Structure 1
Amino acid sequence: MADTSDMRSKEPGRIARALDSDLWYSFSRSPLAMISTVVVVLFIAAALLAPLIAPHDPFDPANLSILDSFLPPAWLDGGDPRFLLGTDDQGRDVLSTILYGMRISLAVGFASVIFAMVLGITLGLLAGYMGGWVDSVIMRIADVQLTFPAILIALLINGVARAMAGPQSYDKVVFVVLVLSIGLSFWVQYGRTVRGSVLVEANKEYVLAARLIGLKPWTIMVKHVLPNVLGPVLVIATINLALAIITEATLSFLGVGVPPTQPSLGTLIRIGNDFLFSGEWWITIFPGITLAILALSVNLLGDWLRDALNPKLR
């Protein structure tokens, strides 16, 4: 009889199994997916390493000079080599503000998607597995929310929070308010998708067997049903990340987002928009291009993931 340790050594590792999976095969055959992944990873790395790679600290008043305001990009006449993409009205380096602004945009995007995903999955599991009046109440709330655009719901929640916190305290809780307002406007997609998947899975043999051996409903939902409905949830989360970043940028552009002292990409676009027609186009164009590339890359990655996890397209 062969030694057990020898048999284990011959088993493929996790990395080998991942490289041999259908998902990796689809990824390696999709140039758009690979390019999008590289772009997203580079943007996230640049945002995380902003304090190390940014040429200047745009939020340190000691390093700012009003004499450096409205400098064009370095390759144009009047540009300064110290400021590759030019400066804004306060003399801040546009490249540095973009790097720091991406940190806030990505942080709000990821946090709001995680919040919406947790809330939507929880309510979707309850609605699909419990049924009855629980299902009716949750789904009617979802139906009502679907009649309003996500940006209007986010604006409503943001406005209520601003009125309750007051103008002095709002800036301290603006990050949490943005996450809650965006997350609460996106949970419906997760809830309805998970509910539909749970209704299909609830009558399968493995769920019936779990009920027969006496497992509690919550244990069945989390340990047995949830892993089988995560595929569509991951696709929605990837696409919603781009929507969350754009929604945050929209709120900031409308003046209800993060304060100008610590701007996100949307705030930078709003600040630059005031000087767009006076000739200082670089203040708003470069943050706008960054936001567009980031959102497009995440969307392309989500489209690939949707097709890769669709068994009908394999």
Structure 2
Amino acid sequence: MTDITPRAAPGRTRARLLRRALASDIFYSWRRSPVTVIASVVALALILMAVLAPWIAPYDPFNPASLNLMEGFTPPASESAFTGNYFLMGTDNQGRDVLSTIMYGSRISLFVGFSATVLSILIGVSLGLAAGYNGGAVDSTIMRVADVQLSFPAILIALLIFGVARGVIPPNRQESMAVWVLILAIGLANWAQFARTVRGATMVERQKDYVSAAKIMGVHPALILLRHILPNVTGPVLVIGTIGLALAIIEEATLSYLGVGVPPTQPSLGTLIRIGQQFLFSGEWWILFFPGVTLVLLALSVNLLGDWLRDALNPKLR
């Protein structure tokens, strides 16, 4: 029998989904908060600036063939006295355009922050689900490990993991693996908060009727966790993940500032701040100022978005 039921056109379906999204409580909460709107615009602008850096950056600051030491220490919003090139944010000691270095450096900072946060979420959510659902010895073991880790600052744990990993990797591969080691160190240093949150939510969800019904039907525990419990604990994970992203970016900048992060050939915002700090008291303030402001704006905007998301996903605060 031929199906003659009229189907909605793809364009009409997309329009319906867009209207539904614009009428949702989340969008209403977002547009009613001017601070959140500004934070969203700033975060989006910085992310796009980093992603599109190879196409929109005025110069390629990490191409040795394009560097000119005679352009070093050019003040902001001025032309080089030797080449006539214009630099909106000035140049550093090697003649690199500060604006371009910020664009390229933000790429590494964001990549490390996003990757480390995803790693933390994967580890923390998995262990939190296992601890909250199984209880007993599994719960006690995972939570005691989390308690021990939470008793130390995350930056110290990241330093320890980074040092151990660098000791295992051969010296000739340490520079090429530095970014991945940094992601591993930050990711392993921040999983505990996700595990504790998911464990608490899982202990509440496992007592509900839909989980009991799935058990009676003989559904495998792994499927119960993935299909039934996990979708109901993602709200707190999204909130902590957003705030954790800002913390991961700051931790990466801190490690790079201390000289144990990404190599100078792949500088992030933390590396740029460390370089600029060397010239702060000699009058070249812009080398430190602009990367520092970029880091503050990026971390602050992401933090504000996390605070808004926490309130928007909590029905009691509406």
Fold match by TM threshold 0.5: yes
> What is the match of residue 197 of structure 1?
201
3-state SS of the aligned residue for 1:215? Answer: coil
Please list the CA deviations of residues 251-287 of structure 1 after superposition, one character each: whole Å capped at 9, or x if unmatched: 0000001111110000000001111111111111100
Q: For 2:147 and 2:247, how far apart are their aligned partners in 1?
A: 20
Q: For 1:289 and 1:98, how far apart are their aligned partners in 2?
A: 10
Deviating more after overlay: 69-78 vs 225-234:
69-78
Amino acid at match of 2:86: R
> What is the match of residue 187 of structure 2?
183
Q: For 2:184 and 2:145, how far apart are their aligned partners in 1?
A: 17
3-state SS of the aligned residue for 1:172? Answer: coil
Amino acid at match of 1:52: W
The 5 Å alignment of 1:52-131 reads: 52-75=55-78, 81-131=85-135
Q: For 1:234 and 1:28, how far apart are their aligned partners in 2?
A: 19
Runs of 4+ in 1 over 4 A off after TM superposition: 6-12, 75-81
Aligned match for 1:285, one of 285, 289, 292 = 289
What are structure 2's unaligned runs of at least 5 residues? none
Please list the CA deviations of residues 114-143 of structure 1 after superposition, one character each: whole Å capped at 9, or x if unmatched: 000011000000000111111111001001
What are structure 1's unaligned runs of at least 5 residues? none
Amino acid at match of 1:288: G
> Cα gap change, 1:118/1:173 in structure 2, threshold over 3 Å: closer, same or farther?
same
Contact 2:79 2:86 in 1 (8 A): no
Amino acid at match of 2:222: W
> What is the match of residue 269 of structure 1?
273
Q: For 1:204 and 1:230, how far apart are their aligned partners in 2?
A: 17
Q: For 1:128 and 1:139, how far apart are their aligned partners in 2?
A: 10
> What is the match of residue 236 of structure 1?
240
Amino acid at match of 1:17: R
Superposed CA RMSD in Å reads 2.0
Normalising by structure 1, what TM-score?
0.95
Aligned match for 1:27, one of 30, 35, 38 = 30
3-state SS of the aligned residue for 2:58? Answer: coil
> Cα gap change, 1:155/1:55 in structure 2, threshold over 3 Å: closer, same or farther?
same
Contact 1:74 1:81 in 2 (8 A): no
Normalising by structure 2, what TM-score?
0.94
Q: For 2:17 and 2:229, how far apart are their aligned partners in 1?
A: 24
State the identity %.
Answer: 61
